[in-house]
Structure 1
Amino acid sequence: MSLFQQKMETSGSKQHKDEISMKHSKSPFDLIVNQIWRSKSFSERWPQSSMARFFKVTENSNEAACVTEKQKEGKTSLDSENKENASKLSSDEFKSTDPVGSTAKWEQVVEFMERLGKEPDQKCMNLNNCSLTANDAVQLAALLPNLPQLEELDLSWNELIGGTLKVLTNPMQRVPQLRVLVLGSCRLSEMDLSALGDWIQHLPNVEEIDLSWNGDLGGNLSLFTRKLGVDSKLKVLKLVDCDLTAKDAKALGQALSVITKLEVLDLSMNKDVGSGLETLFQELKHVPHLQVLKFHLCGLRGDNIINLGDALECVPCMKKLVFSCNDIGGSFNETAAHLSNFKQLQVFDVHRCSLTEDDVSALTQILPLLSSLQVLNLALNKNIGSSLRHLIARLRFLPRLTTLVANNCNLSEESIVELADTIPNLMELETLDVSWNKCIGGNLGLLLQTLQSSSCLRVLKLCSCNLTGQDLESLVSVSCAGFLENLENLDLTYNNTVADQSWAMFFQKISGLKELSELDIGLRPLTHRACDPWITIFLGSLVRFPSLTEFGMHHWVLSASQRKRLETFNSDNKRNILFHC
């Protein structure tokens, strides 16, 4: 049992205090930990009224209050011998490599981590989703000096530690090697953000900070950003869904001049930050090494990105650019022209951006220059019309493209023909999503017949495409020829246009899908059809799907006997397939 737990559980009688004092005199480490717990400055910084609000949200509030009271009582002086020994202990001696002392320190860390069901590691402390309380935060403060080599600290998804970060301020000075700090979804308060700023001043090696999913940071980000120093090594800053405002965006923009090594900035899902990003765009000139910029669902409008094009020229190392779910249609054409400088761009996501034909035409012109592009997401842009056909024709100049997402883009038959002609040039294509494009129905054969035996396709999504029996025959033909041998995920949902007999034919003849792990043929909501015509054939065909682990069949009606067959199939055939009914 650790010394901290002893203090939590003892009755506090004078006789027992004397026993503990005797134990403390046995080792310098015990002596200094006792000093930390009994420190007058600690108790003064945390008066009873301040500490009480930390513990009121925990189930052990009475116990926590008892600990605070004992800390106050602990201000009694040590005996003269202990005082003399304590005065000789410098900060360097606290980190001593003395075998006995080091072992005792490490055992305390091990006990703490094992109590939370986590593996102890001297360089990485992962306390993600451990239901930490304010009590645990206090104990962590006592343990951090035992980990001078700590490089990663993850406290994310522990909402009860919100409001307690100040107690860790001084201990954080004992982990100067810290590089990664994750505090996502911790209910951080305004005071926590200020404390975090104090931490940063004593953590010269921090390269990554993640404060995502803390909704109370909005309007207060400057408490943190204004404390960033000119020598900051910060490379990654994530502030996803923090309810940031335009004021916060401006504060962050002003801070870019001191975090010049920044490589990743994620402001996704801050829907009120949009107008303030104009200031941030102007300051991108200070972060020439920026490689990832994410503005998903940030409330951007067309007039907010007027100057974005010029700013993007200052960050030529860009590898991932995300503008998804922002209403920037009609103004993106000027920005698109500046993308030609991104020779290293690998991911470009503009799904659901209300793009217009002019926007797509501008993107079409520079697309061949993005030779490193691997992921292109154009989904949910319904008003790009026939201009998409010309863009698709240019995809042949992107030999490294691995993912093409064009679902719900109102593709025309001409676009399907262009895509069919282009696919043979996309030798590394792994994911193709053309869902919700009704013109695929009756034309799937055009796409599939161009696949070659060397196809790398792993994911094929054809949801709600008005597929026909003829389309399923084309799919069977291509798979039997071995052109889909690497396919792992096949989505055929919401294709109510396929007749029952065609599903029976599909399962009767399909083969060559040895790597397929996920198959979904679920129907549209509010529709119901009996699966009698094909369920028996399907169960017999599973021997040809040795890797299948999930099968979706939502809204297909099963009889009691059919459900029983599905329930017993795995045990009878030594399989582990999850049937989604």
Structure 2
Amino acid sequence: MEHSVGYIAKADEYYTVKSRSELMFEKQSERHGFTTRVTHAALVKPQDDGGVTDQLYSEMKPAVDGANYIIKHMRNKNEYEDFLVQIRIHGSFTSSRPGPEAATQPQPITLPPCFAASAESERDVGWGRVCVFLKRLGKKADSKSLSLAHCDLTATELLELVQVLPSLTALTELDVSSNKEVGGVVHLLVSALPVTQMRRLPFNSCYMSNESFTALALAVSYLRTVDISWCKVVGGHLALLLDALQPSVVSELRLCSCELTTDDMQHLAAVCRRGCLSSLRALDLSYNSLVGDNGWCSLFAAGGLGSLEDVDVSLRPSTSAPCSAWLPALLRALPQMPALARLAMQRWTADCQEREQLRYCLKKRSVLLERDPDLQDTSSACKGNSQESLEESQPEE
């Protein structure tokens, strides 16, 4: 395609300037080694076309460049398809040369040149980074984990990844979090995974669609870790995910900034009462300011969180709200959380007595309390409270 303009110009010259007989004699002379015979047509200079040729070239160049781009893209696609065929046949991602035992061992695969980019450059994103990652780590068919977080993957590149997944038959962990453009095709990724053996599949900051969120509910019953933070589609639809949970399976549930509602929190409380979260160790409900006091009260009064070690109910840095309505429910629930080691409730405000009760109750348990510095005890009245009065106000353990 790059020489099309030259061919057209040459043909135009032959047609309008030189006669057919002159062309025949000229080519015959060159073929027999004679000096090229200069014809009268060669001595005639073409007339000035007033820039028509340049204008024609400027108009045709974008089309030629586009055609060249398509050809290059198709060549890269063919190389990639050949690469996938090798994966399906040999089931290996290593890049070393085969040894004498290659007849019985899986054959190594060399990545196509179009994907063999250097990961040192900041421009290496998307599928090129994925392939470099696989090549450098020597991923094989028996690989159990694959992390592609913060790779700037696009939806198209995730679809290419879907074609590779069937070769990773032992995969139990796949991290594609913080790839904002893949949320709309997560359902295709889930359908290609060995769902029954998956244990960790975080999709935080992936901007999932409704269809993708529904597909994730099909796989959540097998996961040990569920992280869909910063996915706004979860708000108002958390029941779809929670109803698929199996008892004593999930150990980490992260729902930060999911726009959860009071109904979502009450449904979470119902799941806790059923014992489905008895093995839960980490619970992140931070940055969900739409949850009302009734939602928090329901959660802490539900019980069923005996294994919980870390809980975060903090608000966004730009907001604050009083916790007086649900703090008594939290204080009563603390004795039922013997494993609790960290409680984060930043931006929640409380009066002097409530802060002192919470501090004293957690101090006896050596629980790390994270709250804003400006909420620390500054009142002399708080410091003057006696330890005896605090003990009387604590729930019986």
TM-score (norm 1): 0.42
Higher relative contact order (CA 8 A, sep 6+): 2
Deviation of 1:287 (Å): 11
- Distance change (3 Å), C-alpha of 1:344 and 1:469: same
**1:480 matched to 2:273:** yes
Question: What is aligned with 2:263?
Answer: 470
- Decide whether aligned partners of structure 1 residues 368 and 398 sit closer, same or farther in structure 2, where only a CA change above 3 A counts: farther
Matches within 5 A, 1:11-410: 285=96, 306-307=115-116, 327-329=124-126, 331=128, 342-395=140-193, 397-410=194-207
Deviating beyond 6 angstroms after TM superposition, the runs of 4 or more aligned structure 1 residues are 333-341
CA–CA distance in structure 2, aligned partners of residues 498 and 392 of structure 1: 30
CA shift in 2, pair 1:344/1:538, >3 Å: same
What residue is the counterpart of 1:567 in the other structure? 359
SS at match of 1:482: coil
Cα distance in 1 for residues equivalent to 2:342 and 2:113: 44
Contact 1:519 1:552 in 2 (8 A): yes
In 2, distance between residues paired with 1:284 and 1:567? Answer: 57
Give 1:476 deviation, angstroms.
1.1
Alpha-carbon distance in 2 for matches of 1:398, 1:444: 20
Aligned residues: 264
1:286–1:561 CA distance, 2 compared to 1 (3 A): farther
Structure index of larger Rg: 2
Residue 460 of structure 1: which of 253, 257, 263 is its match?
253
Give the conservation status (yes or no) of the 8 Å contact 1:393–1:419.
Answer: no
Distance 2:334 2:298 in 1: 14
Cα 1:305–1:440, aligned 2, differ >3 Å: closer, same or farther? Answer: farther
Contact 2:174–2:200 (Cα < 8 Å) also in 1: yes
Aligned to 2:102: none
CA contact (8 A) 1:459 1:489 kept: yes
Q: CA deviation at 1:526?
A: 1.9
Which residue number corresponds to residue 552 of structure 1?
A: 344
List runs of 5+ in structure 2 lacking aligned partners. 1-93, 100-111, 372-397
Given that 1:445 and 1:471 are in contact with CA atoms closer than 8 Å, whether structure 2 keeps it comes out as: yes
SS of 1:390 mapped into structure 2? helix
Give the share of equivalent positions with the same residue, in percent: 32
Cα distance in 2 for partners of 1:499, 1:568 equals 26
Partner Cα separation in structure 2 for residue 539 and residue 393 of structure 1: 43
- Larger helix share, 1 or 2: 2
The question of whether the paired residues in 2 share the 8 Å contact of 1:330 and 1:358 is answered with no
Aligned residues of 2:275 and 2:304 also touching (Cα < 8 A): yes
Query: Deviation at 1:342?
Result: 1.9
Correspondence for 1:500: 293
CA distance in 2: counterparts of 1:370 and 1:287, whole angstroms: 20
Report if aligned partners of 1:490, 1:518 keep a CA contact under 8 Å in 2: yes
Give, in angstroms, the shift of residue 285 of structure 1.
2.5
Q: What is the alpha-carbon distance in structure 2 between the residues aligned to residue 580 and residue 435 of structure 1?
A: 20
Structure 1 residue matching 2:196: 3-state secondary structure: coil
Q: Which amino acid aligns with 2:235?
A: G
